[in-house]
A and B are shown apart, each in its own frame.
Chain A
Amino acid sequence: MFNLKKLHPSTYLLPKEGLMRVPGLIIANEEELCDAGLEKPLEQVRNVASLPGIVGYSIAMPDIHWGYGFPIGGVAAMDAETGVISPGGVGYDINCGVRLALVPIRFRDMQERTKSALLEAIFRRVPSGTGKGSSGDRRLSESDYRSLVKQGARWSIEQGCGLAADLEHMESLGVLEEADMSAVSKAAQERACAQLGSIGSGNHFVEIGEVGQIFEGEIAKQWQLQLGQTYILIHTGSRGFGHQICQDFLNSFIKKGFAKDLADKQLVAAPLASEEGRSYRQAMAAAANFAFNNRQQILHQVRKAFTEVCGVDYASIPLLYDVCHNIAKMEIHPVEGIKRKLCVHRKGATRAYGPGAEELTPLFRKTGQPVLVPGDMGRASHVMVGCGNPLTWCSSCHGAGRVRSRVASLKAWQGKSAVDHMERLGVAVKANSYKTIAEEMPDAYKDVDKVVQAVQEASLAKKVAGLHPYLVIKG
């Protein structure tokens, strides 16, 4: 019913029709295209294609699923002068993202009791779950907010929570410059004042495991990724701060009538050149900088846990990379041979710059940027390298994507022990709520290997290494 036309391997065109201003571009393998659950997200791809100022394509990644207005796993670039910015195109969890750090010990060399102690230590140090706030009951003051929002992750590092070298291993060096607290409501500040350094709930996690496969030896070497090495993977975002900012601007844009004539009110958007658009960008950047700090503070606690339990030197645990997967950023991209300033919305999608990209630091300019693709907690996650594909505005997928709702997953695991099942798979899981574990079981997700395969076939990113989880803390 969508009349898709194959352009390249795992790349399909969704032809322009009706109110669409541009065609859709679907990155998926053939098996994925047969999934009946794809119908609603593809309708959302069409809706996004109708937004003012959209350039190129309305893009869907292979991990696409239904989202608010924009699908999750969607990418859309808007012209900086004539286009719009949409809070729904970023998502509630602004700068939800992933960071990967490497520990200089082989995972298999750790004794079982050390692994258990490590899991306990991380669980104790990193608050997780609904309503669980900062470790040590720390509350952010107004001046803390002003500084962390202005400085991004540097703020945490200056507080002793990290290494100076970490900054060079973060997307945008861990700071979005447009951030301005004057665009942020009091409610957003209050909602998150005790949440910095916490995972939250849902699909967020801290995961420890081993590098199980190397696909691109030369790049892995440059990134100091070794087979059998222990890794730390952290997935979380801006907590209540980002949620409240998204909500504040959705409410304000709807009240101002910006949703008029849109196919879905949740697509509501303000012109980038307007006061409202500028204000949202400032507030969104503030939330993005909160999220960089959140992941920085969590990594700090995990590093301390490794020092405490395994005697590993804090400074010997380098951050490989930190990527955003819910963000809108101003970027320069060639459009029909001419460089144009675009606002690229990536909602459940990761930037994937290839070798030579000017924004990257020297190491990654040489190789292309790391693209971190967490799978589910039982199978695998992937480290890829961006190919800088101009068709997708240098974007790639962000994860596995759900195949089963939370409710269905909970029902499927009712009366069975999800924790025991995970143990049989060799994965120790801890969470504040059994419900979260049951909702997040591996069979609730697509096979991330297939998602990654489609991304590779479409030349968006290439596999560098496969990660295997063993210790998982869920929200």
Chain B
Amino acid sequence: MNQTKNNTKANHLDELELIKGCVDNDVQCQKVLYEKYAPKMMGVSLRYCNSKMEAEDVLQDAFIKVFDKIKTFKGEGSFEGWIRKIVVFTALKSNDKRVRKFEPGSLGNVQEQSFDPLAISNMETANLLSILQELPDGYKAVFNLYAVEGYSHREIGEILGISDVTSRSQYSRSKQHLIKLLAKYGIQRL
């Protein structure tokens, strides 16, 4: 009964109070915070990982970091952005070895291929995620960071320890690879 009452109370807390509660190690506040952001962060994690289990491991490590480091959040920028950054960096670190192996790959077969934007837009996000997860890890990282997260190539270079030129070329290759995968599933420009 008491727990339900506490939950209800915590649900009504605004974000600042929630953060303060987490700083004080209040489990109820931590739970509310987790329930608020976990689904969205799971979506982020899934994009960088190859399976749901892997994504959950990343999410678990990321939330442990969030709760451990929450007192360092200075309120600069959005709190969601801060958590998202932790999730992305945790995912990259967990996939460290694989992410860093950038295979040169051949571009010959995909240069002429294009795609139908409408067909992709009509796709279920879950299906699109499956296709994205099929990308090699290095490509997946660069593609996610640039196309979805919106980092610049210079920033990606700093994050992954590569030059911005390498990031640019990796992105170009990853995009071609993705188009090739889309073509495999029948999404192709007529």
Do A and B actually bind?
no
B contact residues vs A (CB 8 Å cutoff): none
Interfacial residues, chain A to chain B (CB-CB below 8 A): none
